[in-house]
Structures are given as C-alpha cells and as structure tokens.
Chain A
Amino acid sequence: MNLLTPLARFLIFPGLLFAVPAAWFVLWLERKTVALLQRRIGPPFGQPFFDFVKLLGKTTPPRPGLEGMLMRAWPLIAVSAAAGAVGLLPVFPSRGGFQGDMILLLALMEIPAICLIVAGFTSGSLFGEIGSAREAVLLVSYNVVFLLAALSIASTQHTFRLEAIVAGPATPWRWLGVIAILICLPAKLHVNPFSLPNAEQEIYAGPMTEYAGFELAMWQLSHGLEWIAGVGLVVTLAIPPSPDAWLTVAELLFLGFAVVLLLSLVAAATARLAIDTTVRFYWRCALVFIVAALSSAILVRWRS
C-alpha cells in the first residue's frame, strides 16, 4: 500500500472533498424531511451551507488565555477526528485498509462526542455543563451496545480489518449487528428521541451554548461529518460487495439516503426522552438483544 491511496481516501473520496458537501446535504435532508412531515415548506436547498458561511463571517467573543485556546481547539479536533473516520470507511473493498482499522474507526467516531463533553465544561456555562453531563451519560449508555455490535460483526469474520469484514458473506449475525448499530445511531447523532445533550429550548444549546462564529461553524461541520461516518458505517456493512466498484458506490449512496430518511422520520415522530428512560432503553432492551446476537455469533464461529 503506497501513501497515495490513504491520502486520496482522506482528502477526496470518501474523505473531505466528498464528505463536506455530503454532510451539508444530509443536514439539509434531515431538516427538510422533518419540515415536510410537519406540513411545512422547510429550509431551501443548501441552507446548512449558508449557515456555515454566515457563521464563518461572524466574530467570536474575546476569550483570553487557556480557556480561549481550548474553546478554539475542541471543535477543530472534533472535525479532524470525524473527517478521519469518514476517510476510513471501506467504500472500495480491497483498496487500502490495514489490520485493525475498525478499532481506529470506532475510536475516531468517539472523539467528537468526547470533545463535546469537555467543550461544555470548558465553556463554563451552566447549560453547557448540564449538556455535557447528559452527553457523558448518553455516551456510556449507548456505547455498550454500539461496541458489542461492532464486536459481534467482527467476530463473524474473525478480523478487525474492515475490508475483510465487508468482503465476507452477509450472515444473519452480521445483520443483527448492523441493526444494533442503527439503533445506536439516533443517540450518537443527537436526534430525537435521544436529543438530550443539545436539547434545544430546554437547556438552550447544551454544550454549544457559549460557542459562536467560527467555532460554532466547526461544530456544525463535525456534526454533519458524524452523520456521514455513522450512516456510512451502517451502509458499508449492509451492502454486499459487487465486482463493479461504481455500482457499489451507487448502492451505498442510495441506501445512505434511505437511512437518513429513516432517522429523520424517527426524529419527527418522537418526542425527547428523559435521561433515565434513555439509559433504561439501551441497558435493558438493546443490551439483551445485542448480547444474544454476540453470543450466537461467537457460538456459530466456534462450531464452524
């Protein structure tokens, strides 16, 4: 593997050049779907792009010292981590990738959430701290299921190499794992019914309450890239590989569109759950499901 392939994957496809416009499109699609379901017209096409550029053109309040530097750094770290996660997605099987890249992908997908937690506490705002505490609890509750789902998918192929997992046969155990990841996505992306951390109008904007201008634009971008990474992970695991690379990409884009529509539908149809209900949902219902899936996947692997 030469250096050019990973660089192209990070910068061009599925990395930044593709992922940033795709992130804006997904954010628009989510808002538009919710608006249409509420019988509104909704935002015009490209609204997240307008918001992004406008935020870049706004000033930020002067914050001296370490606090200001950290408040500038957290959103940048979140954007880089989310972009790295998107770059690792196995869109073209058998092109690049390395042993254990699934672990790196999962780690990179966690970093924006961790940045959000520390960002809320760094800002010193009361609402930011409440939002960060909620995000931390949410992280602990859905991550048990999310990581076990990733583990059950990896155990069916007995590898942590994404290309090998995608290229392997689609067993029922892998499907169970994909469904479990899909159940975790609303919490990971903070959409209803798990929009607790940024609970708009309830705790203002949660961890982002004090962030403005450039920093807020970066948070929006990292949120969009998280959408691409999360939805991309689900669709790359769900689509069986075909010899024609472009057909695979078309299938991925179509299924990704469907997953975004599904999540928006759930967001529009549900109300925000309280934190204890959320934890109970993930630790009781989803955990039983995923432990059954994981143990059966390991049993099947062991017997074969």
Chain B
Amino acid sequence: MSWWNRLLCLCRRRSPWIFHMNAGSCNGCDIELVAALTPRYDAEQVGVLLQGSPRHADIVCVTGPVTRTAAPAIRRVFDQVCRPKAVVAIGSCPATTNVFINSRTLEGPLEKHIPVDVFVPGCPPRPDAIIRGIAAAAGLLASRSRESAPPLASESAVQKEAAE
C-alpha cells in the first residue's frame, strides 16, 4: 500500500462529513441526530460535520421508513453524493419500517432503494450509538483505500448495475 493510500485511509476515517436525509421519519431519530452534534455528545471531536449539500458529504444518514414521496428523492440524493460514499440507516424504521409495516403509503425498507452499509437500530437510537454508526461507516470508507478490501455495498451495487 503506497503512502498516499495510507494517508487517504487515515483522512477518510477521521473526516466523515454527513448529509441528513429525512425519509418520512417521526422526528425522533432526527432529534437524536441533532443531539449527537450538540455540546453534550459533540460528534465534531471525531471529525463529523453536518453538510448542507449532498455534493460535500461522504456519508448519507437516512431516518424514517421511506414514504412513497421520499423514495425518488432518496435515490436522487444518493446519486448526487460523490464516490466513495456510505449509507447509514438510523433507527428501526429504515431497517424494517418498524410499526408502520404494511402501510399503503410506504415503499420501505430503505434497502429496496439504495444499498445500506451500516444499520443503527433503536427507536430512536441513542446519540452515542449514532456517532458509533457514523464512525463505523467512516472506517468502511477508509478500508476502501486498501486495494485488497472488499468493496462497499454502494460500490458493488453500482458495479452490478454497470455490468447489467
């Protein structure tokens, strides 16, 4: 592994910029995500910055069970994020659609639309669990710098689409 790849690996692990996407959440997880950024938990100490534009982000944090109107927006935002990228599903809703299962206004769970790298379970999950999930996703991004590492879920989905 060259020195540039080693440096890139370190920097990707230490500088995860996130974009928050609400896909029909009840606001519980969103408040916990905000709490993760505020003084008590302070995610900035591990380099996390909340970005306004998906172009600047490395990690997309999705909350909510993916409503019918949110589904195309999620795919669009995911495409706008530049590679390498990772997706963190925050809460039980994007993983399983939770208590909203069988609702006719839903098109969840999230994995039907975009590849998910890290799930943070909980209804809502605690802020420290969210920070841990983001750090795990940053670790996955960093492992991409090594040639031998397996590709991320998002990368392999793109490759599969290209092959088809």
Binding site for B on A (CB under 8 A): 31, 35, 38-44, 47, 49-51, 53-54, 57-61, 127, 200-201, 203-205, 208-213, 216
For B, the interface residue count at a CB cutoff of 8 angstroms equals: 27
A209 proximity list for chain B (CB < 8 A)? 52-53, 55
Q: Which of B45, B51, B53, B55 contacts A42 (CB 8 A)?
A: B45
Q: Which of B15, B39, B42, B50 contacts A54 (CB 8 A)?
A: B15
Q: Which of the listed residues B8, B11, B50 has the most CB atoms from chain A within 10 Å of its own CB?
A: B11
CA distance A176 to B142 in the complex (A): 51
A183 → B minimal CB distance (Å) = 28
Asked whether B14 lies within 8 Å of A210 as measured between CB atoms, the reply is: no
Interface of B is mostly: mixed
The answer to the question of B47 belonging to the interface, with a C-beta cut-off of 8 Å to chain A, is yes
The answer to the question of B84 belonging to the interface, with a C-beta cut-off of 8 Å to chain A, is yes
Which residue of B is nearest A61, CB measured?
B82
B80 proximity list for chain A (CB < 8 A)? 61
The answer to the question of B107 belonging to the interface, with a C-beta cut-off of 8 Å to chain A, is no
Asked whether A213 lies within 8 Å of B82 as measured between CB atoms, the reply is: yes
Q: A50-B47, A200-B52 are in contact. Are A44 and B58 (CB under 8 A)?
A: no
B85 → A minimal CB distance (Å) = 9
Asked whether A204 lies within 8 Å of B52 as measured between CB atoms, the reply is: yes
Of residues 20 to 78 in B, which have CB atoms within 8 Å of A's CB atoms? 39, 42, 44-47, 49-53, 55-56, 58
Q: Which of B15, B45, B46, B82 contacts A51 (CB 8 A)?
A: B15
Asked whether B11 lies within 8 Å of A50 as measured between CB atoms, the reply is: yes
Asked whether A59 lies within 8 Å of B14 as measured between CB atoms, the reply is: no
Of residues 115 to 159 in B, which have CB atoms within 8 Å of A's CB atoms? 145
Asked whether A44 lies within 8 Å of B82 as measured between CB atoms, the reply is: no
Asked whether B55 lies within 8 Å of A212 as measured between CB atoms, the reply is: yes
